Structure 1
Amino acid sequence: MSRYDYIVVGAGSSGCVVASRLSEDPSVNVLLIEAGGSADKFWVHAPAGMGRLFLEKSINWAYFTDGVPNADNRSIFWPRGRVLGGTSAVNGMVYVRGHPDDFDGWARLGADGWSWSDVLPYFLKSEANSRGASEYHGGEGPLSVSDPLIRSTTIEDYISAAERAGVPRTSDHNAPPYEGADFHQHTIRDGRRESAYTAFVAPVRGRKNLTILENAQVLRVVLRDRTAIGVEILERGRIRMIEAARETILSAGSLNSPHLLMLSGIGPAAALMKQGIRPVSNLPGVGQNLQDHWFAPMIWRTTPDSSFNRDVSGWRKYLSGIRYLLGRRGLLAISASQSAAFVRSSDKVGRPDLQMVLRPLSYTFDPKGAVVVDSFPGISAGLVLLNPGSRGSVSLVSADPLAAPSFQPNYLSDAGDAERTIAGVRRMREIMASEPIASRIEAEVLPGPGVTSDADILEHLQTVGNCGWHQVGTCRIGKDANAVVDPALRVRGIDRLRVADGSVMPTITSGNTNAPCIMIGEKAADMIRAHWR
């Protein structure tokens, strides 16, 4: 077919949900287009394989930012999934929704209908939590959310030490009080990664009204009289057009959705004309408001029994592999990011603004982005600033749709970001000096015991700090002149075109962004069906 009722661009965390839900109506035809192909690979299915996927070009866009002025002018590696499931097929599988005030804040900024009470039902709708249904969790949804199969005793000691240092122990990061230390839950089903594709699309792939087009890159949205009538795609070296009778929904992610809008003539008019693209709709906010989480990496050398490093290295890694193959158990069946403490950087902050992740293993990134497990027994932390003030942009550098745009995240450009993260490093050290975790620590390796002053910690943030790969905000919801989509996710000034992915977030959520992106897909599909009903 070359004509469908709905075209969904991008089979990622939001797009898979939109396509699955829209195709529940047998009277419509839905096309889901993905630039990549199958995710049926061992290291995609095995939760611990995340680190091996970063540089896997066959399933990864493998983007790099421009040099970041406040991060030692480094170009930061941004892995993004180019595969069925999108980035949910290569991420850390942590299931965190964020703080209720994140969404109430969206509503205050003009995103009517996106407050916490509005979005909670969509989180519940998606979720099949291993703990069962409750006021704050769904039990019958497509997406498996589970507790770790292995609960590291080192992490147990970290949570106890945090409690001794004044951080309350909690039993659920996704329920009140949204503050404290606990093990994470993950999108893992029976020892296998649960991506948006495996949860929402694979079980219904046999629907006659759902077509999935793999290895086809959308080049632009085709517009006629300010109306989206379809998309132009590149498939097997040939360019062709596919029509959308009702709507085109961009779910290509916070980096690719604004890129596609600009290639289609929707964006800042002066920048488009500079690249020889005729502006159809002057929307200066397209590509602006880029946000991401920045974190301070920390590593400690530990007693041998406190770290998983030796079990995932050398000859022992083969034993772990055998155990996983025989029963989907062992270290390959869990996520490395086992736990976190959600805390406040100071008493002046009204809610947690730091996510202090601890992992029972340690690793570093080489300059090309590859993950290298340390040769010594170690554990590592990512001290994540949840609500950054820094804002960046995605900019068009060429009218060639196969040329990546420019990414400038402007990490640490807001002075408060560094101040709060430095406070977090000190708080993390306080916890790690508390028992019972203190007895496991032999030495701080990174940033190191000599790094004590604010200036030294800031240098650590600038020269070694890294990102959370949680880019959002580049097609934000709103009612003002710089908003890209309205609260119904319709692109302003263009008919029959919506954006449904993390790019529509006005502000970044307080934690990992996969769960909120799935929620956005659920709510988008509901609004689209209601409109056409």
Structure 2
Amino acid sequence: MTTKTSEFNYVIIGAGSAGCVLASRLTEDPAVSVCLLEAGPSDRSLFIQMPAALSFLLESDTYNWKFESEPELALHGRVLGQARGRGLGGSSSINGMVHVRGNPKDYDQWAGLGVEGWSFRDCLTFFQKMDSFEGGRDPMRGGTGPLAVTRSAAKHPFYDAFQLAGEQYGLPAADDYNTGEQKGVHVTQATIRDVKRCSTAVTYLHPAMARPKVHGLEHLRIVDGCMIPKIP
């Protein structure tokens, strides 16, 4: 018999990218119970799983909060759309799946300003822990992490011509732009596994949901479609 828990050690508000990871990490301890609240729906929709359905998600009121910027003075008062994910996985369930770690110089600049532990070398340990790169583990990439990272499998003569044109212009050919050097032309890397989107809900939350219960007690409850007007 499974007993429904009414009290939890932790309540996480928002099952976006951070919320999914946090729920997963906390419930690695079988003695910890977590309630994860999300305003949007689950991520079971085929449109979320299918990378080619990206444009549908961005136009959807169900999966996109559709925030807008303030009027931009430099753009003659135009208001710009700001897509943000609504549902399990948050924006990782509606984004373009392009995987870019960021420029190492930015991280090193933060460290130089006194932000301890945020140099690129410091963060590399966590990048590798997260990565499951199709090229396998090496000094810069991870090979067994939860997040699948693959090179784009799309093929077209225009892609080859574009890359060749860049090289002829003098740009370096970057085999892996996530190893530190981003200048050049390269094939895009994406968070896709087995032709399906690899969101944080897929990589962190779903495995946490599958963990066995201890003494019949649930240690992770997910409540989607949950709007909270006030925290008492």
| Residue in 2 that maps onto 1:127 | 131
The amino acid of 1:80's aligned partner reads: R
Structure 2 unpaired stretches of 5+: 212-217
* Separation in structure 1 between the aligned mates of residue 225 and residue 113 of structure 2, nearest angstrom: 38
Question: Displacement of 1:205 after TM fit?
Answer: 0.7
| Residue in 2 that maps onto 1:183 | 187
* Separation in structure 2 between the aligned mates of residue 141 and residue 123 of structure 1, nearest angstrom: 9
Structure 1 unpaired stretches of 5+: 221-231, 233-240, 242-533
Superposed counterparts of 1:201-240, under 5 Å: 201-207=205-211, 208-219=218-229, 232=231
| Residue in 1 that maps onto 2:106 | 102
| Residue in 2 that maps onto 1:292 | none
SS at match of 2:88: coil
| Residue in 2 that maps onto 1:422 | none
| Residue in 2 that maps onto 1:150 | 154
* Separation in structure 1 between the aligned mates of residue 112 and residue 39 of structure 2, nearest angstrom: 36
- CA displacement, residues 8-48 of structure 1 (integer Å, 9 cap, x when unaligned): 22211222111111111112112222111112222211111
* Separation in structure 2 between the aligned mates of residue 6 and residue 108 of structure 1, nearest angstrom: 35
The one of 3, 6, 25 equivalent to 2:7 is: 3
Residues 1:85 and 2:89 are matched in the alignment: yes
SS at match of 1:169: coil
Question: Displacement of 1:219 after TM fit?
Answer: 4.1
Query: Would you say how many aligned residue pairs link Structure 1 and Structure 2?
Result: 222
| Residue in 2 that maps onto 1:200 | 204
The amino acid of 1:84's aligned partner reads: L
* Separation in structure 2 between the aligned mates of residue 159 and residue 106 of structure 1, nearest angstrom: 33
Which one has a larger percent strand, Structure 1 or Structure 2? 1
Give yes or no for contact 1:125–1:138 (8 Å, CA) kept in 2: yes
Q: What RMSD in Å do the two structures reach over aligned CA positions?
A: 1.5
The one of 36, 41, 48 equivalent to 1:44 is: 48
SS at match of 1:163: helix
Whose radius of gyration is greater, 1 or 2? Answer: 1
- CA displacement, residues 293-318 of structure 1 (integer Å, 9 cap, x when unaligned): xxxxxxxxxxxxxxxxxxxxxxxxxx
Question: Displacement of 1:2 after TM fit?
Answer: 4.3
SS at match of 2:25: helix
- CA displacement, residues 437-484 of structure 1 (integer Å, 9 cap, x when unaligned): xxxxxxxxxxxxxxxxxxxxxxxxxxxxxxxxxxxxxxxxxxxxxxxx
Give yes or no for contact 1:9–1:218 (8 Å, CA) kept in 2: no
- CA displacement, residues 494-528 of structure 1 (integer Å, 9 cap, x when unaligned): xxxxxxxxxxxxxxxxxxxxxxxxxxxxxxxxxxx
Question: Which 4+ runs in 1 deviate beyond 3 A?
Answer: none
The amino acid of 2:28's aligned partner reads: E
The amino acid of 1:110's aligned partner reads: G
Question: Displacement of 1:113 after TM fit?
Answer: 1.4
Give aligned-pair identity as a percent.
Answer: 37
Question: Displacement of 1:213 after TM fit?
Answer: 1.7
Question: Displacement of 1:186 after TM fit?
Answer: 0.3
Is the alpha carbon distance of 1:184 and 1:3 closer, same or farther for their aligned partners in structure 2, counting shifts above 3 Å?
A: same
- CA displacement, residues 394-440 of structure 1 (integer Å, 9 cap, x when unaligned): xxxxxxxxxxxxxxxxxxxxxxxxxxxxxxxxxxxxxxxxxxxxxxx
* Separation in structure 2 between the aligned mates of residue 80 and residue 202 of structure 1, nearest angstrom: 21
| Residue in 2 that maps onto 1:34 | 38
Using the size of structure 2 for normalisation, the TM-score is 0.90
The amino acid of 1:212's aligned partner reads: I
Is the alpha carbon distance of 1:218 and 1:152 closer, same or farther for their aligned partners in structure 2, counting shifts above 3 Å?
A: farther
Give yes or no for contact 1:39–1:59 (8 Å, CA) kept in 2: no
- CA displacement, residues 176-200 of structure 1 (integer Å, 9 cap, x when unaligned): 4322110111000111111110111
Give yes or no for contact 2:150–2:189 (8 Å, CA) kept in 1: yes
